[in-house]
Amino acid sequence: MKIAILGAGLVGGPMAIDLSKDKKFKVTSVDINGAALRKLNKEHPDIEVLEKDLSMPDNVTKIVSGFDMVINAVPGFIGFQTLKAIIKEKKNVVDIAFFPEDPFELDELAKENGVTAIVDCGVAPGMSNILIGHVDSILDETQNVITYVGGLPELRQWPYEYKAVFSPIDVIEEYTRPARYVDNDKMVVRPALSDSELLDFPGIGTLEAFNSDGLRTIAKTINAPNMKEKTLRYIGHIEKIAVLRETGFFDKEEIEINGIKIRPIDFTTKLLLPKWQMKEDEVDITVMKVIVEGKVDGVCKRYTYDLFDKFDPETKVHSMARTTGYTATVVLRMLADGMYKQTGISPPEYLGKHQACVEYILSGLKERKIYYQETVEILDS
Where are the chain's structural domains? 2-123+320-369, 127-310
pLDDT of 168: 67
pLDDT of 281: 81
Coil/strand/helix, residue 336: helix
Coil/strand/helix, residue 308: strand
pLDDT of 165: 65
Fold of 127-310: Dihydrodipicolinate Reductase; domain 2 (3.30.360)
- CA atoms of 66 and 226, how far apart (whole Å): 44
Partner residues linked to 255 by β-bridges: 262
In angstroms, how far apart are the furthest CA atoms of the chain? 69
- The structure's pTM equals 0.93
Sequence-distant (6+) residues with CB within 8 A of 257 are: none
| pLDDT tens track for 146-191 | 999 999 999 999 999 998 866 667 788 889 989 999 999 999 999 9
Fold of 2-123+320-369: Rossmann fold (3.40.50)
- CA atoms of 114 and 117, how far apart (whole Å): 10
Say if 2-123+320-369 and 127-310 have the same CATH topology: no
| pLDDT tens track for 300-311 | 999 999 999 999
Given a cut of 50, the residues of the chain with pLDDT beneath it are none
Determine which helix (DSSP H) or strand (DSSP E) holds 71, and give its type and residue range: strand 69-72
Sequence-distant (6+) residues with CB within 8 A of 21 are: none
Coil/strand/helix, residue 281: coil
pLDDT of 97: 93
Q: What is the DSSP string of 132-168?
A: HHHHHHH-SEEEEEEEEEEEEESS--TTT---BSS-H
Q: Distance of CA 110 to CAs 43, 97, 249, 345, 346, Å?
A: 36, 17, 39, 7, 10
Partner residues linked to 23 by β-bridges: none
- CA atoms of 93 and 338, how far apart (whole Å): 13
Q: Distance of CA 331 to CAs 229, 278, 326, 358, Å?
A: 23, 26, 8, 10
- DSSP for residue 106: G
Sequence-distant (6+) residues with CB within 8 A of 262 are: 254, 255
Would you say 40 and 11 are in contact if contact means Cβ atoms under 8 Å apart?
no
Find the DSSP H helices in 189-258: 218-221, 237-247
pLDDT of 76: 87
| pLDDT tens track for 316-368 | 899 999 999 999 999 999 999 999 999 999 999 999 999 999 999 999 999 99
Find the DSSP H helices in 235-318: 237-247, 264-276
